[in-house]
Structure 1
Amino acid sequence: MPGALAVGDAAPGFDLVDTHGTPVHLADLRGAPVLLVFFPFAFSRTCTDELRDLRDAAADLDAAGASVLAVSCDPMFALKAWAEDEGFRFPLLSDFWPHGQVARRYGVLDETDGHALRGSFLIDAAGNLVWSTVVGRSDRRDIAAHRAALTLL
């Protein structure tokens, strides 16, 4: 995919708002790993299943010291309603405006349809990419792949 990041690259910085309108700065999370998960649409079946898997794998993520940040181009208020419905405890970040700016930096914006593709990026404590995967829009990412990636830290 053109513009895709490679392992070892510095993760592009960003400032996005969470479901409460609070800015989240990737740079503020340096010193600990971050699993950055892009998804197309809140309330869709596959996205819900994937984020439920991450919610239910909280113990594994905590053991690795990794924070999860989930990002879509949905508006903040849609993400807030979805997070409340599903009990997601990790931040859901809105890449709504400028539309898809962060997804574009990570090479996962579907420019035709205006949504994020299913991309996951594991960023180490120094801010470098150590693992990534991008799957098709209708394909579900396997939580086992995320767990295996955590062993790279």
Structure 2
Amino acid sequence: MSIRSRFAALAASIAFVPALVGAQSAPAGPAPLKVGDAAPDFTVATATAAGLSAKPFKLSEHRGETVILAFFPKARTRGCTVQMESYRDRYAELFKSGQKVTLVGVSVDPDSALTSWAKDAKFPFQFAADVDRKVGVAYAANTGEGFHKRLLYVIDPQGKIAYVAAPFNQMSADAYTDLGSAITKAGHGAH
């Protein structure tokens, strides 16, 4: 085989590789919402350490507050426990003890599992039981594999996305520092 023939064969095989790679790779999911986007409204059942909330959580009813949606894969798993315990331990500092700041942990777990976990771990915030995955789909958190990505949104008091952590790195101290700054900044925009 001549050098020219070898080069032509190599060029043809290289041209085929992107098509082959593209055919084998999984399609990318929707991109997370961006800062400045209007936060999609939703209504979902929530649970706390006290049990199932009497009234579902409706995002639009929380205008005037800073809302943090913390999507996570599964209750009681190692990484999720680190994340939620960090929120609990920093609740006064990061989330202003819930004064005009609402934290909602969102997973596909049923409300009974979230209630039990919140009670056992003494979590002072609420969890959304997104069992039908509608909230996860609206916020590009749904993996399509039965759980949510670890994704976090700060929504300002006007209902706009003020901060996105995609993914939220629950093991990094900087992630919590950045979150605290974003919450403070979003809240100051309300004045």
How does the TM-score come out when normalised to structure 2?
0.72
- In terms of fraction of residues, the more helix-rich structure is 2
Q: Which residue of 1 aligns with 2:7?
A: none
Counterpart secondary structure, 1:110: coil
| Equivalent position of 2:162 in the other structure | 130
Consecutive aligned runs of 4 or more in structure 1 exceeding 6 Å deviation: none
TM-score, with normalisation over the residues of structure 1?
0.89
Structure 1 CA distance for aligned equivalents of residues 128 and 138 of structure 2: 15
Q: Contact 1:21–1:76 (CA<8 Å) still a contact in 2?
A: no
- What is the identity percentage for the equivalent residue pairs of Structure 1 and Structure 2? 31
Equivalent in the alignment of 1:30: 63
Residue aligning to 2:170: 140
Matched, 1:17 2:45: yes
Contact 1:122 1:131 in 2 (8 A): yes
* Greater strand fraction, Structure 1 or Structure 2: 1
Q: How many residues align?
A: 148
Match of 2:119 among 78, 84, 98: 84
Instruction: Point out the structure with max Rg over C-alpha.
Output: 2
Does the aligned pair in 2 maintain the 1:33–1:67 contact within 8 Å?
yes
The CA deviation at 1:3 is 4.0
Residues 64 and 100 in structure 2, CA contact (< 8 A), matched pair in contact too: no
Gaps of 5+ in 1: none
RMSD: 1.7
Q: 1:104 aligns with which of 129, 133, 137?
A: 137
State the structure with bigger RCO (CA 8 A, min sep 6), 1 or 2.
1
CA contact (8 A) 1:50 1:143 kept: no
Please name the residue that 1:40 is paired with: 73
